[in-house]
């Protein structure tokens, strides 16, 4: 294969939705792209001109503006632009100018339209939010509150000396300070003020900071948009903007924050993880996931998009660790397959995830070969733990010899669980029915999955037990339209949005998949497939999917809120943090879930 094409393929594999294409299709698309180089300041196209195709940024930055000249996007590597015009009459509806030397890949119009017509992932991606050229990393539509650094703003009193202000800036490693009078925000002082007014101006460092500050500067509120930041910074040529609410300083947005925002994307994190040379480098990548979570949630992305993108990073880290393990241990004696279960298996990871995994080994393996796979499992599991995917409390990991076995043993496991569905078998089956191949020889699982689904669906007793198991997690509904919150401990008066929120729907989705022999592991995909297969009615499916969407999105919004406040994300939500409107709708969603659980339970009773 041509080296340049191989390079394009490798790049496209890190860009969504190209990463969803089969390898032969990916090669065809890579061959369709042409390479264009632009210098900073050059115009790519002007509003009203015919478009030659869809542009994809490989290197550099591009500024997209409305015909009025208003900046609507600052795009970086792996962002596309031009699709709005292509979706209409082929004429550009915006203008695009390179702001930093760039390499752009151009996909011809016919090829772009062929992909839209034939691959649902492309149609969904490029039809989503056509109001702007950039999805998922468009800071212009982000709330200012989502762009602020999570730490509290650093401030000095109006009576503090210039020396005190300089020391605070040095110690906090910041380039600006808010100036307050009591609780009231009155001004801002920056390193430029220090240089121009103190050092160059020969001012004594003992004078009050009020003598060098900018008094009553332009400010924004947390509800302002990223476009407001861009417009003010560009118009006034300033690099710091105080964020003020009710007269109090609540944050500071700087050019560095904007650069950091543009640099944090799932594609960039995937690329950084895939090229990491050490576990420490990978851990530094996964440490950026909370910021990505805040960005994706703030961008109003659907929950299944957020969790898919976050899971993609875990998948990449796992595959990189497998590669590093093989480089250290040597080639495996026989083929194997690393699989994820739990939230990673379902592609539903959030800002809080432990690891659940296993290994299936080709039946040609010998007892003498097994130490290799034990060492492989330890290397990868320890690496995942170091990257924040902590060890599973229930030991559902490949390091447990029970979950590192030849395919023939796995076949025995599944047959045994189905034949004798005691409580332990139900629990294990529930976990293992969410398996998804991550790295290795996928064919080791393909036949086993189809065989197991067929065997399980035909065993009415096993299905009944799985239904019973799915009803153990119940929505947190209390009396008088209230919530049943946790009664004591660290999370008193909170709702567990995992075990009492999303898990009841996850369990229902798994039952539907079992009954219908449906292959998807993702919960939302299972619900949609169950509707199409007639397992649940169209109205029931619609209600359940909408309820699940609301519950899952509320969970993510709460995690993002915790990150923005400087805390670690978790699954516990205080109903008091929600408005009356939000509480009412969340409770209605829980009622839908309980109703669907009751329907499943009644159907089981009718069969037994």
Q: What DSSP letter does each residue of 560-590 carry, written as one string?
A: HHHHHTTS---SEE-GGGS-HHHHHHHHHHH
User: In this predicted model, what pLDDT tens digit does every residue of 169-189 receive, in sequence order?
Assistant: 999 888 899 999 999 999 999
DSSP sequence for 108-121: EHHHHHHHHHH-HH
Helices (H), 387-473: 407-419, 423-432, 443-457, 460-470
Answer whether residue 297 shows pLDDT above 80. Answer: yes
Query: Which residues is 187 bridged to in the sheet?
Result: 179, 215
Greatest alpha-carbon pair distance for the chain in Å reads 90
User: In this predicted model, what pLDDT tens digit does every residue of 541-594 receive, in sequence order?
Assistant: 999 999 999 999 999 999 999 998 888 999 999 998 888 888 899 999 999 999
Q: What is the pLDDT of residue 606?
A: 47
Beta strand 176-181 with 155-157: parallel, antiparallel or unpaired? parallel
Q: Which CATH architecture group holds 3-134?
A: Sandwich (2.60)
Over range 289-300, report the average pLDDT. Answer: 85
Over range 87-93, report the average pLDDT. Answer: 77
Give the pLDDT band (50/70/90) at residue 1. Answer: very low
Give the pLDDT band (50/70/90) at residue 385. Answer: very high
User: In this predicted model, what pLDDT tens digit does every residue of 150-171 receive, in sequence order?
Assistant: 567 899 999 999 999 999 999 9
Contacts of 525 (CB under 8 A, 6+ apart): none
Q: What is the pLDDT of residue 131?
A: 35
Answer whether residue 529 shows pLDDT above 50. Answer: yes
Distance of CA 319 to CAs 292, 316, 359, 583, Å?
21, 5, 13, 41
Q: What is the pLDDT of residue 272?
A: 85
6 HSE (CA, 13 A, CB side): 3
Q: What is the pLDDT of residue 442?
A: 86
User: In this predicted model, what pLDDT tens digit does every residue of 212-256 receive, in sequence order?
Assistant: 999 989 999 887 877 778 778 877 788 899 999 889 999 998 877
> In the chain, pLDDT over 70 holds for what percent of residues?
92
Over range 127-135, report the average pLDDT. Answer: 42
Q: What is the pLDDT of residue 232?
A: 82
Give the pLDDT band (50/70/90) at residue 133. Answer: very low
Per-chain mean pLDDT for the chain: 87
Q: What is the pLDDT of residue 186?
A: 95
Fold of 469-607: 1.20.120
**Residue range(s) occupied by CATH 2.60.120.10 in the chain:** 3-134
Of 403, 404, 380, 399, nearest in space to 328 by CA: 380
Please, what's the b/e burial string for 61-86 (b: 16 or more CB within 10 A of its CB; e: otherwise)?
A: bbbbbeeeeeebbbbbbbbbbbbbbb
User: In this predicted model, what pLDDT tens digit does every residue of 424-471 receive, in sequence order?
Assistant: 887 787 888 899 999 999 889 988 888 888 888 888 888 888 888 888
**Residue range(s) occupied by CATH 3.30.460.10 in the chain:** 264-416
Of 207, 158, 214, 220, nearest in space to 191 by CA: 214
Of 493, 425, 494, 486, nearest in space to 456 by CA: 425
**Residue range(s) occupied by CATH 1.20.120 in the chain:** 469-607
Fold of 144-260: CBS-domain (3.10.580)
What burial class does residue 299 get, using C-beta atoms within 10 Å of its C-beta: 0-12 exposed, 13-18 middle, 19+ buried?
Answer: buried
**Residue range(s) occupied by CATH 3.10.580.10 in the chain:** 144-260
Of 137, 130, 108, 126, nearest in space to 20 by CA: 126
Q: Which helix (H) or strand (E) holds 169?
A: helix 162-172
Answer whether residue 396 shows pLDDT above 60. Answer: yes
Give the pLDDT band (50/70/90) at residue 5. Answer: confident
Q: What is the pLDDT of residue 108?
A: 93
Distance of CA 205 to CAs 167, 210, 213, 446, Å?
11, 12, 13, 72
Give the pLDDT band (50/70/90) at residue 263. Answer: low
Q: Is the peptide bond before 17 cis (omega within 30 degrees of 0)?
A: yes
User: In this predicted model, what pLDDT tens digit does every residue of 460-489 receive, in sequence order?
Assistant: 888 888 888 888 899 999 866 689 999 999
d(CA 134, CA 494): 37
Per the CATH hierarchy, to which homologous superfamily does domain 264-416 belong?
Beta Polymerase, domain 2 (3.30.460.10)
Distance of CA 382 to CAs 18, 117, 451, Å?
31, 44, 32
Ranking 61-70, 463-472, 500-509, 538-547 by mean pLDDT, the lowest is 61-70
Please, what's the b/e burial string for 248-270 (b: 16 or more CB within 10 A of its CB; e: otherwise)?
A: ebbbbbbeebbeebbebbbbbbb
Using alpha carbons only, what angle is made at residue 354 by residues 395 and 493, rounded to the nearest 5 degrees? 110
Answer whether residue 603 shows pLDDT above 80. Answer: no
Answer whether residue 135 shows pLDDT above 50. Answer: no
Q: What is the pLDDT of residue 2?
A: 52
Over range 29-47, report the average pLDDT. Answer: 93
Asked whether the CA dihedral 234, 235, 237, 240 is positive or negative, the reply is negative
Q: What is the pLDDT of residue 99?
A: 86
Give the pLDDT band (50/70/90) at residue 409. Answer: very high
Give the pLDDT band (50/70/90) at residue 345. Answer: very high
- pTM beyond 0.85: no
Q: What is the pLDDT of residue 130?
A: 38
Ranking 133-142, 206-215, 394-403 by mean pLDDT, the lowest is 133-142
Answer whether residue 129 shows pLDDT above 60. Answer: no
Q: What is the pLDDT of residue 136?
A: 45
Out of 137-141, 219-223, 595-599, give the one with best mean pLDDT.
Answer: 595-599
């Amino acid at each position: 294969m041509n080296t340049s094409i191989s390079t394009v393929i490798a790049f496209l594999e890190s860009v969504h939705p190209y990463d969803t294409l089969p390898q032969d299709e990916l090669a065809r698309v890579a061959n369709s792209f042409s390479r264009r180089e632009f210098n900073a300041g050059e115009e790519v196209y002007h509003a009203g001109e015919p478009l030659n195709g869809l542009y994809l940024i490989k290197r550099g930055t591009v500024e997209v503006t409305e015909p009025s000249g208003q900046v609507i996007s600052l795009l970086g590597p792996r962002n596309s632009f031009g699709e709005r015009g292509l979706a209409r009459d082929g004429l550009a509806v915006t203008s695009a100018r390179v702001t930093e030397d760039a390499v752009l890949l151009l996909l011809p119009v016919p090829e772009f339209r062929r992909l839209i017509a034939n691959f649902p992932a492309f149609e969904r991606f490029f039809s989503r939010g056509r109001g702007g050229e950039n999805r998922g990393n468009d800071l212009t539509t982000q709330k200012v509150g989502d762009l602020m650094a999570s730490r509290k703003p650093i401030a000095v009193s109006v009576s503090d000396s210039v020396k005190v202000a300089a020391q605070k800036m040095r110690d906090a490693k910041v380039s600006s300070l808010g100036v307050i009078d009591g609780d009231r925000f009155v001004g801002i002082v920056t390193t430029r003020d220090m240089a121009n007014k103190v050092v160059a101006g020969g001012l004594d460092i003992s004078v009050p900071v009020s003598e060098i500050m900018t008094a009553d500067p332009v400010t924004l509120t947390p509800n302002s948009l990223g476009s407001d930041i861009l417009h003010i910074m560009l118009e006034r040529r300033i690099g710091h903007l105080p964020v003020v609410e009710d007269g109090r300083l609540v944050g500071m947005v700087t050019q560095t924050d904007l650069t950091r925002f543009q640099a944090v994307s799932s594609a960039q994190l995937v690329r950084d993880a895939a090229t990491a040379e050490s576990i420490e480098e990978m851990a530094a990548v996964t440490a950026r996931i909370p910021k990505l979570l805040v960005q994706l949630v703030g961008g109003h992305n659907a929950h299944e998009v957020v969790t898919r993108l976050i899971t993609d990073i875990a998948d990449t880290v796992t595959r990189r660790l497998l590669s590093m393990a093989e480089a250290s241990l040597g080639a495996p004696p026989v083929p194997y397959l690393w699989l994820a279960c739990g939230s990673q298996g379902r592609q539903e990871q959030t800002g809080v995830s432990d690891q659940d995994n296993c290994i299936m080994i080709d039946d040609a393996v010998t007892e003498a070969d097994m130490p290799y796979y034990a060492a492989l499992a330890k290397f990868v599991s320890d690496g995942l733990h170091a990257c924040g995917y902590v060890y599973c409390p229930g030991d559902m990991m490949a390091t447990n010899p029970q979950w590192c076995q030849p395919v023939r043993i796995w076949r025995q496991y599944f047959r045994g669980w189905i034949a004798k569905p005691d409580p332990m078998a139900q629990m294990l089956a529930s976990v293992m029915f969410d398996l998804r191949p991550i790295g290795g020889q996928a064919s080791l699982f393909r036949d086993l999955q189809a065989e197991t689904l067929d065997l399980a669906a035909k065993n009415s007793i096993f299905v009944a037990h799985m239904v019973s198991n799915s009803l153990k997690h119940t929505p947190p509904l209390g009396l008088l339209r209230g919530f049943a919150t946790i009664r004591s401990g660290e999370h008193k008066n909170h709702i567990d949005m995992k075990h009492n929120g999303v898990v009841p729907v996850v369990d229902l989705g798994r039952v539907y998949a079992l009954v219908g022999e449906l292959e998807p592991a993702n919960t939302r995909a299972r619900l949609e497939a169950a509707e199409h297969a007639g397992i649940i009615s169209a109205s029931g499916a619609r209600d359940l999917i909408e309820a699940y969407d609301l519950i899952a999105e509320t969970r993510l919004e709460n995690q993002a809120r915790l990150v923005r406040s400087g805390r670690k994300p978790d699954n516990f939500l205080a109903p008091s943090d929600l408005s009356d409107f939000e509480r009412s709708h969340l409770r209605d969603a829980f009622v839908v879930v309980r109703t669907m659980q009751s329907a499943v339970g009644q159907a089981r009773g009718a069969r037994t």
